[in-house]
Every structure is written in structure tokens, then in C-alpha cells.
Amino acid sequence: MSTGRTVLLIGGVDAHLERFKALGVTVVLIQHPDKVTGYQTRAADVLLVVDYTDWDVVRPFAEAARAVYGVDAVVSLTEPGLNPASRLGDLFGLTDGRRHEVSRRMRDKWLMRRHLAERGLPVPHTALVTDRASLDAFGERAGYPFVLKPVSTTAGFGLVRAESPEDLDRVWARVRELDGGRTDRGSTMFTVDGYLMESYIDGPEFSVEALSFAGRHVVVAVTEKLTSEEHFAELGHAVPARLPGADRQRLTAAVEEFLTAMGVTDGPSHTEIRLSSRGPVVIESHNRLGGGNIVELVEAAYGIDMVAYGAAWPLGLTDPLTSPPEAKGAAAMRAVLREPGTVTSVSGVEEVRARPDVLAAQVSVRPGDTVRPLRDNWDRLGSVVVTAGDTDAAVELCERLVREAIRIDVEPAAAAARARAA
């Protein structure tokens, strides 16, 4: 049944389009040439294939679509589409006129840190990388270790940890290698446009998944994150997070304060935060849904479809949540990992996927593919997502399936090199 409403959807995956189609709205989809799928070509009422990350390219197409079809909302639920969607919404008079400013602050980590500091919220020592000497100066001021990160990429791409003054030549070489170029794995839709330095934040890491309704923030879930000090890849997620109620309250209160300070008023958000020795400190945040199967985990544990809310709320087709939901179960994701080398065989994925307690199981490598050293999320080989009665059971099941049921045989890198030499 048609609602008579039209959304201009910027980018996204099939699941995003599915939620809009389920609402009965007309979907004008502007999609990047590298991201078009068969489903999108069939399901979108109008499909415009352009590089929507280029404002000079996307603006005339969006204006033409609005003139021909009419647009009630401009929406994006994917990272590279956030800024163009908010900018178009402001341009068309469909927002309060400040959405693009807010979106830029959320995506640009330097702008975010400056904005928070001006409002008295806790931030680590922060500075922009300008030259090799700026690394020495920052280390002397903030101490070691400290972290360098691209100002506005995603998925941990390009992050570097400086361990000591003697480590700075290596760090500087890596920064020079990546700065100014495109992300080269997973997605090539992001440009490394400068580096930021931040003092290291200790403590366990979580993410807070929230929905905002006209300035009122409702925390849907706190996600427990499995990370390592050795790299910047996320190894797993679990909901509900296993932490005392008082700590959960500290995290959620800090995120609500953060979102208000940043000017976020509507839609989904995903905020990464550490419960440090000096209290909760936001690492970074996104005015979009969380990745790494977090959406699926939240729906399994809480019964809340955050994608559906992200689609319906901008069009006025759903009521706001009035309070945080109660967990009805638990869910966990664990990444599939192996040592570096060459894949020789893959098995067990279909059998795992067929289990009733498995929500998703996928592996992205085949025999002959290279397993890279683990640096960020793009180096993971796949994932398994499960549901269970409580978080302990979900994590135990997921880790067992990843470890024992999915088989990926790898010829170690050193052995492969010796074989090639022979």
C-alpha cells in the first residue's frame, strides 16, 4: 500500500532499501557505481547511478529528482552518504538547516574533539599532524603510547599506535604513505584527508546504539566489544554488554550528553566509548547504524529493528520509542581469523549457517586467497552471529563455532615464501 510519500535515499545496502519498500514509499535511490546490486535495480522506483560522494556531481541529479518526483525526506543510513544526504536535506528545506553542520562534526574527528572541548566535555589530548616534528611535540606533551587516526575514515583503516619516541620514524612513514590517498581495502569511497593525534585512552571499550527523536535520545543497547592492544580490528560484539548497572548508567548518560552537545536530534547513532580510569570517554561516534552485525544483534536481543526506525522516522511513519527496551535474550558476533598465509581450503560454513541458533555465518576467502596480518576490520575473514538465552552462552557458542566448526586451512606465509623460492 502506497503512503504517497517519496524518499531520496543516498547509497546504502539492500536491507536499507527493503525497509523503505516495506513502508510503501516511493524510493528514488542515488547509488554509487561500485555499490549497485541486482536487487536495487529491481526494487528502487528510480535509480540514479552517480558518485554521490562528489557534491558537484550529486547535487544536480538530486535537484532534478526532486523537481520530477517530489521528495519528502533525504536519508542515508551508510557512512559515505551521511554528509551529502544532510546537505541535500538542508538545501531542500526539509530539515532545520543544521543537519549538514552536525553530520560534518560527527564524521570529522578533529571538528568533534574541538566542539566537545569548547563545551567542557571530556576529551583526550588532541592535535593535528602537520609534519614530522609535530609527532615529537605531541609525544612530549601527551606521553606514550598515543594513537594517530585519519580525520574521517572508518572501520579502523589507517590507525597507527606510536609506542615511544624511537617508534616515530615508522609511524611517520605510515602516515605519509596513506595521507591524501583513498582507502584501499573494503571500500574505496573514503579519502584519507589528514591525520589526528590523540592520547591513548585506557579501559574496556563498548559501543552505545541509540535512536533520537526530535532531540530526545533513547539508548537501545550497550554493545560489549572484543578488542586487542595489538591491532585496531574489532574481534567481536555481544549484547547485552556484561557490565554492572551503575557502569551501564555512566556510559549511557555520557553518550546522551555527547549526542546533545554534538547537535544530534534525529535518527540512529553508534557511539564507541571507553570506560577509562578517569570515567567514560567517547572514542568516536557516527550518526548512522553500527556495523559488524550490530543491527542484527540488537534485533535478536531486544526485538528492535533499528534499520526500520531509521527509515520510518524521517518520513513520520512511526511513533518514537518512549523508553529503552528490555532484553529478551542475547546475541554475539565473533570474527573469523587465521594466521597470515595462503588459504588452501574452506569448509563448514553452510553447516554452521543452517543451525537454528545462528543468525548469520559468512567467510570472504577462497582457496588461493591471501590472509593478511591483522591490522583493521578489513583484514577479518568473515563472521558468525548467534543468539542465546544470555550473553555468556551466546559468546561461548559463537567462539566455539568460529574455532571448531568453520575450517579454513592456511599455508603459513613463511612456508609459502620458501616454496616459491624453491
Q: Where are the domains of the chain?
A: 6-105, 125-199, 201-328, 330-422
CATH level 2 (architecture), domain 201-328 = 2-Layer Sandwich (3.30)
Number of Cβ within 10 Å of residue 283's Cβ equals 18
For residue 390, pLDDT over 50 is answered with yes
Per-residue pLDDT at 290: 93
Model confidence pLDDT, tens digit, residues 37-57:
999 999 999 999 999 999 999
Record: fold of 6-105: Rossmann fold (3.40.50)
What average pLDDT score do residues 360-386 get? 88
For residue 228, pLDDT over 90 is answered with no
Model confidence pLDDT, tens digit, residues 123-157:
999 999 999 999 999 999 999 999 999 887 655 67
Model confidence pLDDT, tens digit, residues 77-113:
999 999 999 999 999 999 999 999 999 999 899 999 9
Query: Measured between alpha carbons, how far is 32 from 189 in angstroms, rounded to an integer?
Result: 9
What average pLDDT score do residues 238-252 get? 96
**Position 379 confidence tier, pLDDT thresholds 50, 70, 90:** confident
What average pLDDT score do residues 236-257 get? 96
**Position 122 confidence tier, pLDDT thresholds 50, 70, 90:** confident
Per-residue pLDDT at 381: 87
Cβ–Cβ under 8 Å, residues 197 and 148: yes
Per-residue pLDDT at 418: 47
Per-residue pLDDT at 84: 97
Per-residue pLDDT at 234: 76
Query: Measured between alpha carbons, how far is 320 from 260 in angstroms, rounded to an integer?
Result: 17
CATH of domain 125-199: 3.30.1490.20
Highest CATH level, class, for 330-422: alpha beta
Strand-strand pairing, 73-75 and 6-10: parallel
Burial of 35 (0-12, 13-18, 19+ CB in 10 A): middle
Whether this model's pTM surpasses 0.85: yes
What b/e string do you get for 295-325 counting C-beta neighbours within 10 Å, with b at 16 or more?
bbbbbbbbebbbbbbbbbbbbebeeebeebe
Model confidence pLDDT, tens digit, residues 171-227:
999 988 887 655 554 455 567 778 999 999 999 999 999 999 999 999 999 999 987
Name the average pLDDT for the chain: 91
% pLDDT > 70, the chain: 92
* Nine-digit cell string for 341: 598465509
Model confidence pLDDT, tens digit, residues 1-35:
577 899 999 999 999 999 999 999 999 999 999 99
Assess whether the region 201-328 and the region 330-422 belong to the same CATH fold: yes
